[in-house]
Amino acid sequence: MSVSIVSNQQRKKIHPHKFTMWVAIGSIVMMFAGLTSAFIVKSNQVNWKTVALPKVFWISTAVIIASSITVQMALRSFKNREMNQYRLLIGLTLVLGAAFVVLQWMGFNELWAQQITFKGSGAGQFLYVIFGLHAMHVIGGVVALIVMFIKAYAGKTKLYSSVPVEVVATYWHFVDALWIYLLVFFLVIGG
How confident is the model at residue 158, as a pLDDT? 65
Q: How many CB atoms lie within 10 A of CB 25?
A: 17
Residue 138 identity (one-letter amino acid): V
User: CA-to-CA distance for 129 and 5, rounded, in angstroms?
Assistant: 50
Q: Where in the chain are the domains?
A: 20-38+50-188
CATH superfamily to which 20-38+50-188 belongs: Cytochrome c oxidase, subunit III, four-helix bundle (1.20.120.80)
How confident is the model at residue 123, as a pLDDT? 77
pLDDT tens digit string along 51-95?
A: 888 899 999 999 999 999 999 999 999 999 899 999 999 999 999
CB within 8 Å of 89: residues ≥ 6 apart? 70, 71, 73, 74, 77
Ranges of residues in the chain whose predicted pLDDT is under 50:
none
> Which alpha helices (DSSP H) does the chain contain, by range?
3-12, 16-42, 56-79, 83-113, 123-153, 163-188
